[in-house]
Amino acid sequence: MNQDQLKQLVGRAALDHVVPGEILGVGTGSTVDCFIDALAASGIAIPGAVSSSERSTQRLKQHGIPVLDAGEVRRLAVYIDGADEIDGRGFMVKGGGAALTREKIVADLAERFVCIADASKLVTTLGAFPLPVEIIPMAAAQLTRRFAALGGTARLRAGVVTDNGGQLLDVTGLAIADPLAFEAEVNQWPGVVTVGVFARHKAQVCLLGGADGVRTLRF
């Protein structure tokens, strides 16, 4: 199976985690696109979804799935999203699709984060994938120096403006041994809107698509 087929496989497998009758949190990315398509085809009745991006909102609406504002919802039972990396504890790097800020906001509403990914995303240590960080542009130079002090090289993602009108740094050269401590530290730096380490908002379940089918990891 190629990577696209694995994404479709885990997208379909995620249907088992949708709670009928409950509003669903929906992430962003090519794997989530497969999930949205599978959800629409499944006929599972949900009152609507809270979306983490304009991209997912558009796809949900195209399928006739109502999209609610995050402010209209106090709690979500489940949030389903992809990841750029996930480790054996459910800690993730996210934001390759530039949606990390809204993804963390929707994840914060949810009791359970179900990550859907192909097996290439499973890593021992986070950091090989360039770490996305949404920032306030005025802070870019100082934040670049701060990441350099941790051994990282930060580059502005050229030509990309987030759904919130923000900019992104992508940081290479990091090995994030303690994701909780790293996230807490970077969150303190002035000018950081969102760091793409999801440690406090880690996955509780990961559906990992590989040659042998879908493996369910619980954390």
Enzyme catalytic residues: 103
Q: Whose Cβ is closer to ligand 5RP: residue 142's or residue 187's?
A: 187
Stretches 88-96, 104-112, 137-145, 175-183: which one binds ligand 5RP (CB under 6 A)?
A: 88-96
Backbone angle region of 173, left / alpha / beta, with phi > 0 → left and psi within -120 to 50 → alpha: left
Q: List Cβ neighbours of 108 (8 Å cut-off, separation of 6 or more).
A: 201
Stretch that binds ligand 5RP, among 70-78, 99-107, 145-153, 181-189 (CB under 6 A): 99-107
> Does residue 94 interact with ligand 5RP by CB under 6 A?
yes
Paired sense of beta strands 92-93 and 197-198, if any: antiparallel
> Least Å distance between CB 23 and ligand 5RP?
20
Among residues 90, 78, 24, the alpha carbon closest in space to that of 56 is found at 24
Q: Does 87 bind ligand 5RP (CB under 6 A)?
A: no
Listed residue (180, 195, 94, 199) closest to 147, CA to CA: 195
Among the listed residues 199, 144, 202, 138, the one whose alpha carbon sits nearest the alpha carbon of residue 173 = 144
User: CA–CA separation, 6 vs 34, rounded Å?
Assistant: 10
142 versus 195: smaller Cβ distance to ligand 5RP: 195
> Which is nearer to ligand 5RP, 129 or 182 (by Cβ)?
129
CB of 115 to ligand 5RP, least distance (A): 8
Q: Determine whether 83 is exposed, middle or buried from the number of CB atoms within 10 Å of its CB (0-12, 13-18, 19+).
A: buried
Q: Are 197 and 84 in contact (CB under 8 A)?
A: no
Residue 97 is a binding residue for ligand 5RP (CB under 6 A): yes
Q: How far is the CB of 61 from ligand 5RP (least distance, A)?
A: 19
- Three-state secondary structure call for residue 210: strand
Max CA separation in the chain (angstroms): 51
When the beta carbons of 23 and 197 are compared against ligand 5RP, the nearer one is 197
Encoding tokens for residue 62? Answer: 């195209």
User: What x/- string results for residues 142 through 181 when contact with ligand 5RP is judged by CB under 6 A?
Assistant: ----------------------------------------
Choose the stretch contacting ligand 5RP; rule: CB under 6 A; options: 9-17, 94-102, 184-192, 200-208: 94-102
Asked if residue 96 binds ligand 5RP (CB under 6 A), the reply is: yes
6-65: contacts with ligand 5RP (CB under 6 A): 27-31
Q: Which amino acid is at 170?
A: D
95 interacts with ligand 5RP by CB under 6 A? yes
Residue pair 46/65 in contact (Cβ under 8 Å)? The answer is yes
Q: Contact positions toward ligand 5RP, by CB under 6 A?
A: 27-31, 81-84, 94-100, 103
